[in-house]
Amino acid sequence: MKKVNFALIGAGRIGQRHAEYISNFGRLIAVCDIDKERALNVSNKYECNNYYDINDLLKNEKSLDVVVICTPNGLHAEHTIKSFQAGFHVLCEKPMAINIYDCGEMIKQADKSNKRLFLVKQNRFNPPVRELKKIIDEGKIGKIFSIQLNCFWNRNAAYYKDSWRGTLKLDGGTLFTQFSHFIDLLYWMFGDIKEANAITRNYGHKDLIEFEDTGVAIFEFYSGVIGSLNYTVNSYKKNMEGSLTIFGEKGTVKIGGQYLNELDYQNIEGYRIEGLPEGNPPNQYGEYQGSMSNHDEVYENLLEVLNGKGSIATIGFEGLKTVEIIHKIYRAAGAYEK
C-alpha cells in the first residue's frame, strides 16, 4: 500500500489528535497554524515542516497527497477549497462548513480539481451505531415509527474563554460544534427531514457565546418517521448523555452512554444484538471528553480509497445534508432572524 503524505492545517487539540493518527497511517510532511507555538510543537514532535500561513504551505509543499483541515468551523470551506486548487485531496473535520452554500462550493471544487473530499463522521463507526444501522437496513426493526435523540453535555466558561468557540462567524452554533455528529446519524439512518419546529435558548452562557446553549426540536422525515431532539451544554459539571432511541413495528432499541457508545436497551422480534466489540475510548480535550475516537477508522478508509480498494465512508453530499438539517432547525427556531 502506497505511503501517503499529509499536511495538517490547524494544530489545536483535535489537530494534535490527527497528527498522532497521521504518524500511524502515513507521513506528516508539514503543519500550519497561526499560533506559532502550536505549529512548532507539532513540527518538533513529528519532525515535519512548520508554517504560519496556509498559502505558504500550499505553495511550497509539492509532495503532499492529502491536506487535513482542523481549523475553526467557519474556515473549513476556505481552507478546503484552497487545498483542492493546489492539487491535493482533503480530509475535513466536522462540521463540513457552517452554511449550505459553502458546502456546495467545496463539493464543486473537489469535482473540478478531480480530488477526493473525505469528511470526519466518526460516530458512524461506534459498534452499537454500526450494528443498529445494519439491522435497520436489513428490516429487522420493520417500519420505523419514531425516534428520539438526546444530547446532554457540559461546556463551561473556560471552554469558551479567549477562543473562536462561541462566535457565530467561526463556531456557528451548538449543533455545529458539539452535536453535528449526532445530526449526521439522523440523515444516515432515516433520510432527509421534511419539516422542523424548534425552540432554542441561551440560559447559562449569556456573556460567553453568541448563540444557544439549549434547544428542543421536533421534525418529520420525508419517510414519514417523526422525531425529537433535546440538547444542551448545561449538564451540571460534566457530560451526561448522548442517546438515540428508535421505535419500530418489530422492535425498540436505545443506544446511550455519554457518546452513543453503549447498547442501553433492545427488544426486537426474533433477534438479539450480541457480541458487540468494545469501542474506542472517547477523545480527550483537556477537561472534557468528546465522542468516541474512531479516527483510526477514518484514516483506514481514506487509505483504502486512495489505493483503489474502497469507497468513501462519508461523501460530501452527506456532509452538506447534515449542515442543511441544522439550518432547518435553526431557521425554525428563528435563529437567523435575530
Q: Domain boundary residue among 77, 102, 119?
A: 119
Is the same domain home to 40 and 148? no
Q: What is the pLDDT of residues 21-79, one digit of tens each?
A: 999 999 999 999 999 999 999 999 999 999 999 999 999 999 999 999 999 999 999 99
306 within domain boundaries: no
Which long-range CB contacts under 8 A does 34-39 form with residues at least 24 apart? 35/11, 38/11, 38/12, 39/11
Looking at every residue in the chain, the average pLDDT score rounds to: 94
What's the CATH number where 35 sits?
3.40.50.720
- Amino acid identity of residue 173, one-letter, is G
Is the same domain home to 228 and 249? yes
Question: Residue 302 pLDDT more than 70?
Answer: yes
pTM across the whole model = 0.94
Q: What is the pLDDT of residues 88-130, one digit of tens each?
A: 999 999 999 999 999 999 999 999 999 999 999 989 999 999 9
307 within domain boundaries: no
- Amino acid identity of residue 211, one-letter, is F
pLDDT band (50, 70, 90) for residue 328: very high
Question: Residue 289 pLDDT more than 80?
Answer: no
Question: Residue 275 pLDDT more than 70?
Answer: yes
Residue 190's pLDDT is 97
Domain count, the chain: 2
Q: What is the mean pLDDT of residues 206-219?
A: 97
Residues 139, 338: Cα–Cα separation, whole Å: 43
305 within domain boundaries: no
Is the same domain home to 70 and 153? no
Residue 2's pLDDT is 73
- Domain range for 135 is 126-290+316-337
Q: Domain boundary residue among 99, 119, 139?
A: 119
Question: HEC string of the chain?
Answer: CCCCEEEEECCCHHHHHHHHHHHHHCEEEEEECCCHHHHHHHHHHHCCEEECCHHHHHHHCCCCCEEEECCCHHHHHHHHHHHHHCCCEEEECCCCCCCHHHHHHHHHHHHHHCCCEEECCHHHHCHHHHHHHHHHHCCCCCCEEEEEEEEECECCHHHHCCCCCCCCCCCCCHHHHCCHHHHHHHHHHHCCEEEEEEEEECCCCCCCCCCCCEEEEEEEECCCCEEEEEEECECCCCCCEEEEEEEECCEEEEEECCCCCEEEEEEECCECCCCCCCCCCEEEECCEEEEECCHHHHHHHHHHHHCCCCCCCCCHHHHHHHHHHHHHHHHHCCHHHC
Contact 45, 105 (CB under 8 A): no
222 within domain boundaries: yes
**Backbone torsions φ then ψ of 132, nearest 5 degrees:** -65, -45
Q: Domain boundary residue among 91, 119, 147?
A: 119
Beta carbons within 10 angstroms of residue 220's beta carbon = 15
Is the same domain home to 94 and 188? no
Is the same domain home to 149 and 176? yes
What's the CATH number where 264 sits?
3.30.360.10
Cis peptide before 127 (omega within 30 of 0): no
Residue 278's pLDDT is 77
Residue 304's pLDDT is 95
Is the same domain home to 155 and 69? no
